[in-house]
């Protein structure tokens, strides 16, 4: 008879884009444990002998209510077991602080496996600690699993590109979201046996929460509901654009930021542009004196004047939104303009036209089969790409394995790897 063992997994989250990628994995672990406790799922019989103890670690890279806590509530993520409280800093200071504080946790918890997601400083910092840790004289360390491996923009000026490459090269299990990731890893000499094409856990979250997000009242709070249902889009929503900008290369340099804002003037003259602005971006707007491009920042929640919605043709800046409100706003938007990585994927899945204000993308599938176009950061480039997306009837397909089952695939691979690891550490008699 098989005995059930316990394996300890430590999962890292740190910054906003991590939360929606980790949530489905945490849910899959919970579900597997519940099924195992009940022993009621014949489908899982014989598949895994592990009860998984999960320790959730939040590095605190993002710490505002709007950048962190609200996502835990929206995505049903349990309270972190450990909070490192790292906060902001330069790349070196932030990464070093994450590493120092995480090393103590790793030595105390001694997990069998570490899960890191995405490409933020927390991802690399924690992976690097785990790659060099030693729990005993034999050099025992946890397996390192990287979710969203293999993406490459081939632009090493992006801090995320450095984080991706280095994390992939210390990882033992690499979970890939799209075919380009398989090619990139092969080209870099990562053995195929470590690489698993599982799809996209961020899309697992989108599919799981889409209906709930539709119940958000954000469209009413922003006065975006069409009074005249026949004249708006099919769902009684006014035409509006949704804008996000936060990349240091776009917002930290005044000339580039100004070009982008000028490139958006034609759009903001034709429909309301809703702009939930990242704290970094809000700071830069104040610092560079770019306020003239925006209608007065409103805190929404009933404070906005409905007449201000696009009436003066300027960009309507609001505070960052939670997951469900943002998903609702994205689903109903006529067009999305962004420099985010994840939003290129989410709009592809939703079939919403997307203009990416960057010269490159690490997510080429969104351009190849999805609804995304790259505009660059010149005024004319942004104007042209926006026109093109509004004029053509954009249709896209959903990429392979973006089907809501990615976390489950990941868990199956993880359990298999844990079994192999256990077999090596404690040889099974006979
Ligand atoms: C980080 C990620 C980026 C991701 C983005 C999503 C890295 C290298 N970058 O960039 O890939 O797309 O998160 O938001 O990890 N701030 C606050 N409150 C917060 C968090 C940040 O005010 O809760 C402000 C601080 O002034 C901070 C600045 O935003 O200095 C930048 O934060 P940081 O975590 O360093 O990088 P992001 O630009 O958010």
Strand order of the β-sheet with 195-197 is 82-83, 50-58, 5-13, 113-117, 143-149, 173-176, 195-197
The sign of the torsion formed by the CA atoms of 242, 246, 247, 253 equals positive
Distance CA 260, CA 14 (A): 29
Is 196 tagged catalytic?
no
Q: What is the pLDDT of residue 232?
A: 44
For residues 409-421, one letter each, b for 16 or more C-beta atoms within 10 angstroms of the residue's C-beta and e for the rest, the string is bbbbebbebbbeb
Calpha distance 199→398 (Å, rounded): 11
Q: Of all protein residues, whose CA lies closest to atom 15 belonging to ligand 1?
A: 120
Asked whether 230 and 272 are in contact (CB, 8 A), the reply is: no
88: Cβ below 6 Å to ligand 1?
yes
Tokens 């910054």, residue located: 15
Q: Which two tokens stand for residue 230?
A: 């026949």
Residue 204 contacts residue 405 (beta carbons within 8 Å): yes
Q: From atom 33 of ligand 1, which residue's Cα is the shortest distance away?
A: 88
Nearest to 13 by CA among 123, 89, 111, 177: 123
Using 50 as the pLDDT threshold, list the residues of the chain that sit under it: 230-232, 300-311, 313, 428-430
The pLDDT of residue 237: 85
Q: How far is the CA of 117 from the centre of ligand 1 (A)?
A: 16
Best residue for ligand 1 mutational test, from 14, 19, 62 (most atoms within 8 Å of Cβ): 62
Tens-digit pLDDT profile for residues 129-184: 999 999 999 999 999 999 999 999 999 999 999 999 999 999 999 999 999 999 99
Positive or negative, the CA dihedral 201, 79, 28, 323 is negative
What confidence score (pLDDT) does residue 9 get? 98
Would you say the CB of residue 66 lies under 6 angstroms from ligand 1? no
Taking only the tens place, the pLDDT of each residue in 179-221 is: 999 999 999 999 999 999 999 999 999 999 999 999 999 999 9
Q: Which of 66, 125, 278, 319 to mutate to test the pocket of ligand 1 (most atoms within 8 A of CB)?
A: 278
């Amino acid at each position: 008879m098989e005995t059930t063992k316990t394996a300890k997994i430590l999962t890292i989250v740190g910054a906003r884009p991590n939360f929606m990628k980790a949530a489905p994995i945490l849910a899959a672990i919970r579900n597997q444990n519940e099924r195992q406790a009940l022993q009621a799922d014949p489908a899982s019989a014989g598949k895994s002998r592990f009860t998984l103890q999960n320790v959730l670690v939040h590095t605190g890279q993002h710490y505002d209510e709007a950048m962190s806590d609200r996502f835990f509530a929206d995505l049903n993520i349990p309270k972190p077991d450990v909070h490192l409280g790292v906060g902001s800093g330069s790349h070196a200071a932030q990464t070093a602080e994450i590493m120092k504080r995480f090393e103590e946790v790793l030595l105390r918890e001694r997990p069998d496996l570490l899960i890191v997601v995405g490409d933020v400083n927390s991802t690399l910092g924690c992976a690097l600690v785990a790659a060099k840790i030693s729990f005993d004289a034999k050099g025992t360390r946890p397996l390192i699993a990287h979710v969203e491996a293999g993406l490459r923009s081939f632009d090493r000026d992006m801090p995320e590109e450095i984080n991706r490459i280095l994390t992939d090269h210390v990882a033992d299990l690499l979970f890939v979201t799209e075919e380009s990731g398989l090619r990139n890893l092969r080209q870099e000499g990562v053995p195929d046996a470590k690489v698993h094409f599982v799809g996209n856990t961020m899309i697992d979250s989108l599919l799981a929460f889409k209906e709930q997000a539709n119940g958000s009242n954000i469209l009413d709070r922003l006065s975006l509901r069409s009074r005249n249902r026949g004249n708006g889009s099919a769902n009684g929503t006014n035409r509006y654009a949704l804008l996000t900008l936060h990349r240091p290369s776009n917002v930290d340099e005044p000339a580039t930021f100004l070009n982008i804002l000028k490139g958006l003037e034609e759009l903001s003259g034709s429909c309301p542009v809703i702009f939930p602005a990242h704290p970094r971006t809000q700071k830069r707007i104040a610092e560079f004196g770019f306020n003239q491009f925006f209608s007065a920042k409103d805190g929404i929640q009933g404070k906005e004047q409905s007449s201000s919605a696009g009436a003066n043709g300027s960009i309507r800046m609001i505070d960052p939104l939670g997951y469900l409100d943002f998903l609702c706003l994205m689903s109903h938007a006529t067009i999305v303009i962004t420099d985010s990585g994840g939003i290129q994927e989410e709009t592809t899945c939703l079939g919403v036209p997307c203009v990416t204000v960057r010269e490159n993308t690490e997510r080429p599938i969104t351009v190849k089969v999805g609804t995304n176009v790259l505009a660059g950061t010149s005024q004319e480039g942004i104007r042209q790409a926006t026109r093109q997306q509004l004029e053509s009837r954009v249709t896209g397909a959903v990429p392979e394995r973006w089907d809501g089952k990615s976390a489950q695939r990941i868990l199956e691979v993880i359990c298999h790897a844990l079994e192999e690891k256990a077999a090596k550490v404690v040889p099974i008699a006979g």
